Amino acid sequence: MVQFKPEVTLQTIASVNTTIGAELLHSYVNVPNLVLVRVSPDRLAAAITEFIGRSEVLYVHPDYELELYHPINDPDFSKQWGLQNLGQLVNSNDGLRQADVRAQQAWDEWDGTGNAVRIAVIDIGVDYTHPDLCKQVNAQGHCADGNIWKNPNETPGDADSNGCPGICGFDDDGDGQTDELPPTPWPTGTKGSGMTMRMGISTIYTGTIFTTTTRTPNLR
């Protein structure tokens, strides 16, 4: 961006731009004689010096672009090559740059606010107390606040304050399952042995999908 002195004519501005090899991109109506010009990247430093040296010019500076971005606050994000692969070393293996799901680009399009997306993961179980899935674990070791779906037919809350949803030992929603610990979301009419699995690939990709980790916008 180049600010020419008020008395400089448009013809003189055009002549100076031509001499320096700058292409006029835009003139600002509200700021007389302020123009946006373009030079080749390899000529940028020299062009700035030449503009500064002209008696017709008040000041000149590059036109910087600013954009919002969301830095990741997950301390282990660099290990998750499937989300962003920069060719980093993970578990003693060299990564393949850009062999990932472009997670950051997706997050730039949608950050999880607004209408929720429901995703079902069919596998052998997950560690639902993992910090990627659960924000708070209660005294009984159950997830009190997390991102895993809970059975809406089960009586909410802990009616007798002993760690069970609803009333302990009672099938609140009549699905044949008693004490469905949140989140142990067996839908009505189904049975299962539980969903806790401390280690396994299920926890990894479920944590990726439903992560409680947030990002805050910043300028760059």
Structural domain contains residue 37: yes
Q: Please give the backbone phi and psi of residue 196, each rounded to the nearest 5 degrees, phi first.
A: -80, 125
Domain span holding position 30: 2-60
- When divided into structural domains, the chain yields a total of 1
Q: What's the pLDDT tens digit per position in 33-88?
A: 999 999 998 999 999 999 999 999 999 999 887 766 666 777 777 878 888 888 88
How many CB atoms sit inside 10 A of residue 114's CB? 7
Structural domain contains residue 167: no
Structural domain contains residue 43: yes
Q: What is the pTM of this model?
A: 0.44
Q: What's the pLDDT tens digit per position in 119-167?
A: 777 777 777 777 777 776 666 566 667 776 666 655 555 555 555 555 6
Q: Which residue has the higher pLDDT, 168 or 219?
A: 168
